[in-house]
Every structure is written in C-alpha cells, then in structure tokens.
Structure 1
Amino acid sequence: MRGVLPADNHVHSQFSWDTGAESSMEDTCRRALAVGLPAVAFTEHVDFTEWGADDRPPAGAQISTRRRVQPVDVDGYLASIERCRHQFPDLRILSGIEAGEPHHFAGSVAAVLKSGSFDRVLGSLHSVVHDGKLVFVNHVFGTLPAAVVVVDYFAELLRLVESSDVFEVLAHCDFPRRYWPADREGAYREADFEEEYRTVFRALATSDRPLELNTSSPLASATLMGWWHEEGGGAVSFGSDAHVPLRVGDKFDVAVDIVEAAGFRPGRDEYDFWRR
C-alpha cells in the first residue's frame, strides 16, 4: 500500500440490521489502524418498514415485507462511538448513517437525525417501486428484463439526487449490478447505461456533493470515475461498505490509483474527500 490511505467513509458495525456480532465496532477500529487508515465513518443502515409522518410515499406504494430490517439503537450506537474514540485516539472515528431512499422517507430520516449527533450522512437507493410496492431491487431481477431493472433504478436514483438534500455523499451509484444475472445476460456492461450514469452524475455535480467510490466488488470502476470527472464532479469519497472488520479499507490501494487517474487529488488533509 502507498503512503497514507484515504478515510473509509462507509463502514457498518453490529448496529446495522444486516450484520452480526462478528461486526464489532472495536474490532473494525483495530483493523482500520492495522491497514493504515486515518479515519472511519460508521454509517449504519437506516431503513424503514412503514411510512411515517412527513414521508413521501411514491404514488401510494406499499412497503414490501422487510423481515430483517430493524431500527438503529441510536443511544447504544453513539455510546459505542464514544467508547471507541477513547479507546483508539489515533483513529478519527465519525458517526453516521446510510439513509435508504431518503427522498421517500424524508420525515423518518429527519427524525433519526434529530435523535443524535451524526457526522456523515450517505444517501443510498436499495429499493424501487414494482407492482405498487417498494421492494429491494435484487428481488425485481427475474420478473423484468435485467436492462429494464437497471434503467428504472437510475431513473429513481436521479429523483433521489434531485429531491433530497439530507445526504452529503451518494453511495454505490449502481447498486443493482451486484445482482446482475450474468448467467443469463452475460457480463454487466457500463457502456450500455452510459447516459443513465452521466445524467445522475450531472445532477449530483450540480448539487456539489461527492460521489462514492465503493470498493465492494465490482463497484470500483475507472470508467465511472472518468465519467464523474467529465460531468463536473468535484469530489470523491472512498467507501469499503465493510460489513465485517476484515473488509474495512479493502482495495483502497487500487481505489486510490483509479481516482487519481481520473483527475482527483487528496483534499485539504488526510481526512478530507479527494477533489479535482
């Protein structure tokens, strides 16, 4: 690995509903120091199973069953953040959330943010409306042509960027590709969706917010970073999307090369986003 790596701005601990006890915040901090990270942001999943006050349900859509989704234990989470800050003084530790569909759940997200102090807010899209229900996008593959699923996802992602200002960083901009049915469709081709990518990137650049380079394979892409720069993107945030300690800072040496080749450089200090 080269020099000082960037901060990992997208990490999950035991306080996210899709992790387990092995995702210890303390062990993640130890791993971050071991691989040479200057900082980590614990951006726990904030997702919802029902519509709340001041939310904006799309066209009256119902929320599909989300059996595993649980609310964040904000008090326990923030107490753990403080313990880790005392235990690991050489690591900058940021609190945060990954807000799922913040444009739909505006009121619910606002209520969570009011319940504590959060340094970093990611905006993410995991779900789309299908047959009148808000469903995780991976459940739509197989019911619609794969390319249609991806195009619909980007259209919703554009609406998220244009109608929500609650988040600071856009996370994993092409989340559905993790579930792309390569056995039926062949390899996922970014070029097939170039205009969709660029349209989202232009909107995000206009809002002056960073794009995340997510190293949870296969989302780290030199092509995408190049398009982001060409569309006026001003900054890049690095995120491993780690759900276990071993993956914090994963592939950041490669990610640095990708971002640098696209024309971005380290920011004001080792904790900052990389900028053009």
Structure 2
Amino acid sequence: MKFDLHTHHFRCGHADGDIESYIQAGIKVGLTVIGISDHSPYFASEHDQPQPGIAMGKSQFLHYIDEVLRLKAKYEGKIDVLLGMESDFYPESIDLYRRMYEPHPFDYIIGSVHHTRGISIFNRTRWKGMSKSKKIEEKREYYSQIAQSASSGVFQVLGHIDAMKGYYPAFSDIEAADVIDETLKIIADNQVSIEINTSGKTKDVGGWYPSDAILERALHYGVQVTFGSDAHVPSRVGDDWELVRRQLKEIGFREWVYYKQKQPVVVPL
C-alpha cells in the first residue's frame, strides 16, 4: 500500500497546480492513498491573508475543505483522498487553531514549526554572526516548540522535524542531542508520528527530513513514522517513496502509518 500525506496546491501561493492535478499524479505513480495538506491560514491575524505567498487566506479555508471532500467522492474506488492540512504551530494561538479545526472532518493534521522567535526557520541569514552558544540556544528553542506541538493534542503528524537545516546544513552539527531525545520521548508518549519528508532534496541540505541519526533515535523511543513528499508541484507526488521504505527497513522499522478520521492505519514495510 503506497501513500503520501503531504501535498500542496495553488492556494498557498507558492505551489503549482490544483488539488485534482495532485490526485491524478498520485494515481499515475500508483498511490493507494493521497493526503491533501495545504498550508493553514494564519487564523490569529486580523487580515485574511497576511502573507499571500506563504499560506491560504482565511476566506479560502472552507472552499479548500469542500473541494477536497468533493474530489474524495469523485475518485472513490480509484484512490483514497484524505482531508488533511499542514498547520503552523504557534504556542500562543494553539487553542484558536484547535477551535478552527474541530468542526471539520479532517483525517489528519500535520503540525509544523516554521517560525521561532518570529523568524522563519528557512531564513538564510538568521545564523550570520551567531555565537556557538546562541546557535545551541536557537536549536533548543526549535525542538522545544516541536515538543509542545506534540503535546498539544491537535496534530497526528509532525512535519519535517529537522527542516531548520534546509538552508543551513551545519544545523545538524549543533550540539543538542539531549533535547532531541527528550522531544522524541514526548512525541512517542503522545502517540504522534513524524514524517519522512523528501522535500529536503530541493533545499541546500539535500536528502530528506529528518536525518537517519534522528530516525534511529526515533525507533529507539518507539516513535511512529509516516511519509510525505511535501510536493509543491504534481510531479513530486510520491517522490522517493520506495527509497524511503527501503531505508526505514534498513534502520530497523517494520511498519509505518497513515491516518483516516484521525486514527492510524498501520502499513507493514
């Protein structure tokens, strides 16, 4: 059974193609299940779309849900279309986000930390001139937020948990093994999964999120894993799925999961 839980489309402002194009791409590459998970609106902002090139506007939220559900019905029997969302995690706004999601039939929600201290994790300049101790502090803050997101009860999946390395590969070498281990324990305790996200290959770091070293620690602590291409163009749907499956087996995993109605569906590797 082949699945991909992380796909985007034009509403977020930085992806190409409509939702149906991603579904058709999923069928073409042999997916059994495809999750649609575009970027959540900034619900806490007074503006409809404060960052048009980053996430959908609040006015698009219900249209997005309706479109996914319509296409789910249209493609029934051909591919299982899941209603998901990639949600920003802002600790101060988590209750608002929870209230916005609860009335709707989401199969899963991916919680992703995209900002710390008000700065994008992908900001290429945030590390310039920073001391070693400050870099450690920044990495610890990043994983502290990931741990908080795991404990929130809002998310089934945590997105790209070392994506801060995307445009700063040296991030992986910053000393913070203890906080990563503690975060993985919290993720396991809350029965949330982490995704193997293959979009890292499109960034400076290359490869996938998270690193094999983190995946080995995740296995040790009993963290469940899932798959997401994080496709922003239809041609990337399912990208590297088979390679990821093989690598997970080599590390020692025996299964991975996807979600329906917020319940894990276990798939043997």
- Answer yes or no: is 1:230 the counterpart of 2:220: yes
Helix, strand or coil: the match of 2:109? Answer: strand
Structure 1 residues 269, 228: closer, same or farther in 2, change over 3 A?
A: closer
Alpha carbons 2:195, 2:226 under 8 Å: kept: yes
Aligned match of 1:170: 158
Taking structure 1 as the reference length, the TM-score comes to 0.78
Select the residue among 90, 95, 109 that pairs with 1:107.
95
Deviation at 1:222, TM superposition (A): 2.6
Select the residue among 180, 200, 212 that pairs with 2:183.
200
Q: Which moved more, 1:171-180 or 1:73-82?
A: 73-82
Alpha carbons 1:49, 1:66 under 8 Å: kept: no
Paired residue type of 2:5: N
Partner Cα distance (1:222, 1:27) in 2: 32
CA deviations on 1:124-165 (whole Å, 9 max, x unpaired) are: 101111xxxx23223333263483333331233223323x11
Partner Cα distance (1:248, 1:34) in 2: 9
Partner Cα distance (2:190, 2:52) in 1: 35
Aligned match of 2:63: 76
Helix, strand or coil: the match of 1:120? Answer: coil
Paired residue type of 1:124: S
Deviation at 1:70, TM superposition (A): 3.9
Helix, strand or coil: the match of 1:237? Answer: strand
Number of corresponding residues: 247
- When the two chains are superposed, the root-mean-square deviation of aligned CA atoms in Å is 2.9
Partner Cα distance (1:101, 1:172) in 2: 13
CA deviations on 1:15-36 (whole Å, 9 max, x unpaired) are: 33432xx322111111111111
Structure 1 residues 246, 176: closer, same or farther in 2, change over 3 A?
A: same
Aligned match of 1:239: 228
Aligned match of 2:110: 122
Alpha carbons 2:165, 2:172 under 8 Å: kept: no
Q: Which moved more, 1:65-74 or 1:212-221?
A: 65-74
- Answer yes or no: is 1:33 the counterpart of 2:21: no
Equivalent pairs: percent with the same residue?
21
Paired residue type of 1:44: D
Alpha carbons 2:226, 2:256 under 8 Å: kept: no
- Gaps (5+ residues) in structure 2? 201-206
Aligned match of 1:61: none
- Gaps (5+ residues) in structure 1? 53-64
Taking structure 2 as the reference length, the TM-score comes to 0.80
Aligned match of 1:216: 199
